[in-house]
A and B are shown apart, each in its own frame.
Chain A
Amino acid sequence: METTFWEWLANPEVTHYLIVSALLFSLGLLAVITRRNVIMILMGIELMLNAANINFLAFTRFATHSMDGNLVTLFIIILAAAEAAVALAIVLNLYNRYKTVNVDEINFLKG
């Protein structure tokens, strides 16, 4: 029995969550590619990490009976916190030295 598109839409399954996470991931990718400010790039990376977390939890909820996905998500959140702290310290140093946070103006390594 073929389910119609509206019936498919009315019952959120694993695919729906995966589509949301795919769209969130591409929005994060867009922020990383198109913005010049380092902090906006960091925010885009956080969006991509959140998209990965949604994937892990969706597979935990719909595909397994174990709690492994929850723990992986917990570790990803901890890693994101550590990454944000270190990255913002780097950004502060960058601003003190070059007086700008735009990534395309920090090209002193270019020969």
Chain B
Amino acid sequence: MSLTTILFYLFALLTLGSATFMVFSRNIVHAAFAMMFTLLGVAGLYVLLYADFIAATQILVYVGGILILILFGIMLTTQGFTSGFKTLTVNLVPGIGLALLASAGLIYVFVSSPWTSVSMEAPKTTITEMGMLLMHEYMLPFQVTGLLLLVAIIGALLMATKISHKPKKDS
């Protein structure tokens, strides 16, 4: 029982346990906070997979950005204080059946496939190689991603702010 094994099961338990709580929680704010622990557990799994930069990005972007955005969305779209952030679930039994079916199929495929396993020692640094790849082979996706972020910013601003369509009454 090495330290890596213990950490793997710790992070897997944190991820799956809080994800289960998130899915079945009635209070949507509790669900958002459970999602924070899910994302932190996934970041821990990334560290165990030798992806330290991705783990830091995950914490910065997901926990620091997307989760805050989701909390703002929850606060701006709840009807008054009386509803108590309760949300309903529909189709619980067929949904659980489908999710069990999907997980059983995926796990069967994953377990029965003979994966080749290359033993890789922990790299000293991942950022140098990632930067070289990003600037050579992935140059076009990198630029397109920048353009996409610009479009997303402008689109979100245009949609979230109210624009009056009245014509101006000048002259």
A108 contacts partner chain B, Cβ-Cβ < 8 Å: no
Interface residue total, chain B, C-beta cutoff 8 A: 82
Interface of B is mostly: helix
Task: Give the residue of A74, A89, A95 whose beta carbon is less than 8 angstroms from that of B156.
Answer: A89
Q: Which residues of A contact B16 (CB under 8 A)?
A: 20, 23-24, 27
Q: Which residues of B contact A24 (CB under 8 A)?
A: 15-16, 19, 38, 42
Task: Give the residue of A35, A60, A61 whose beta carbon is less than 8 angstroms from that of B87.
Answer: A35
Interface contact B87-A26, CB-CB below 8 Å: no
Interface of A is mostly: helix
Alpha-carbon distance between A16 and B53 when the two chains are bound, in angstroms? 22
Interface contact A26-B90, CB-CB below 8 Å: no
Q: Which residues of A contact B155 (CB under 8 A)?
A: 86, 89
A90 contacts partner chain B, Cβ-Cβ < 8 Å: yes
Known: A12-B4, A16-B8, A89-B159. A27 touches B62 (CB 8 A): no
Could you pull out 20 A-B pairs where Cβ atoms are within 8 angstroms?
A: A10-B5, A11-B5, A14-B117, A24-B16, A27-B23, A42-B70, A47-B19, A57-B45, A57-B46, A61-B120, A62-B118, A67-B130, A71-B134, A77-B58, A77-B61, A78-B148, A80-B62, A81-B61, A89-B157, A92-B160
Binding site for B on A (CB under 8 A): 10-20, 22-31, 33-37, 39-40, 42-44, 46-47, 50, 53-54, 57-58, 60-65, 67-68, 70-71, 73-75, 77-86, 88-93, 95-96, 99-102, 104
